[in-house]
Structure 1
Amino acid sequence: MRDNMSNLIEDLFHGNLRLDESIHPEQDEYYEINSQISDTMQNYKTKLPDTEYDALEQLIDLIGQSTSMYVEAAFEQGFRTGGRLIIEVLAKP
């Protein structure tokens, strides 16, 4: 167990730990929703003038940035809560 923990700590130190790359939602709906988003964007691309489509893409990029910041904050909060839980469990006799 110590070797796995050491590797995890080393990976974290060297920036090799990319948790976001290992997230794969298990809900079937996730993939269906992404397909619908792609289809809808393709539909807008064919119907909107280039300037309006570019503005829509910029809006979607901003929403993505906002969502990423929220997910990061949620991850940090969950990690801290998990750490506090471990401390509380280990502190009890």
Structure 2
Amino acid sequence: MSNLLENLFYGNIRPDESIHPNTPEYQLLNQQISKTIEAYQKKLTMEEFDALEELIDLLGQTTSIYAAASYTQGFRLGVLMMLEVLGGGDRSNSS
């Protein structure tokens, strides 16, 4: 059995790389995005399309930062819940 902390230290744990939504809605949205980008590529000049791609890249970066912050917050909340459960929680109501 591998050591979780060692794997984390060596960078072997990458939760962002193992997330692959397998829902029809997600797949449909990705198909729509691809079709829309292809349509814009045909309509726009090369310079305009490059500017659009730059905007899409910036949106991807902000989405990635938001997802990392959400992951961190969710992990912290999960740890706090574990501490509460393992610690017995609020004992003031256990009279």
What is the TM-score of this pair, normalised by structure 2?
0.88
Matched AA of 1:27: T
The gaps in structure 1 that reach 5 residues or longer are: none
1:15 aligned counterpart, secondary structure: coil
In structure 2, stretches of 5+ residues that fail to align are: 90-95
Q: 2:75 matched to 1:75?
A: no
Please list, as runs of the form range in 1=range in 2, the aligned pairs for 1:34-53 lying within 5 A after superposition: 34-53=30-49
TM-align CA RMSD: 1.3
* Aligned counterpart for 1:65 among listed residues 61, 67, 78: 61
Separation (CA, whole Å) in 1 of partners of 2:66 and 2:17: 17
| Stretches (4+) displaced over 2 A | none
CA distance in 2, matches of 1:34, 1:26: 11
TM-score by length of 1: 0.89
- Alpha-carbon displacement from aligned partner over 1:7-58 (angstroms, at most 9, x marks no partner): 2211101011111111121421101100110111011111100010000000
2:11 aligned with 1:15, yes or no? yes
Rg larger for: 2
Count of residues in Structure 1 that have an aligned counterpart in Structure 2: 89
* Residue 86 in structure 1 maps to residue 58 in structure 2: no
Of 18, 21, 24, the match for 2:20: 24
Higher relative contact order (CA 8 A, sep 6+): 1
